[in-house]
Amino acid sequence: MQAARFAEEHERDRVAAMIETKKPKEYGAAVALLSDLKTLAERDGDTEAFHRRVRQLRELHARKPSLLDRLDRAGLG
């Protein structure tokens, strides 16, 4: 279980790094990874924490309409 948590934290760090590049291709990769993390959260019954993190991510990057649009299209609202 600890290994799974560590992997999840690592993936969240990767998402943040991808978004910080401000490159549309990286936004797409970040959203794909977030979609995978959402699936894992649903499997583990931890969707509330996942959605909280996505809301925080949206607030932090509120001035990036391309990213927000990709999140919306992926159902990561």
2 pLDDT above the threshold of 60: no
User: Tokens representing 45?
Assistant: 């019954």
Q: What is the pTM of this model?
A: 0.87
CB neighbour list of residue 65: distance below 8 Å, 6 or more residues apart: none
pLDDT at 67: 96
Average pLDDT over residues 48-69: 94
Which tokens go with 75?
């159902």
Rounded Cα distance, 2 and 13, in Å: 17
17 has pLDDT over 80: yes
18-48: b or e for each residue (b if 16 or more CB lie within 10 Å)? bbeeeeeebbebbbeebeebbeebeeeeeee
Average per-residue pLDDT in the chain? 89
pLDDT in the model for residue 57: 94
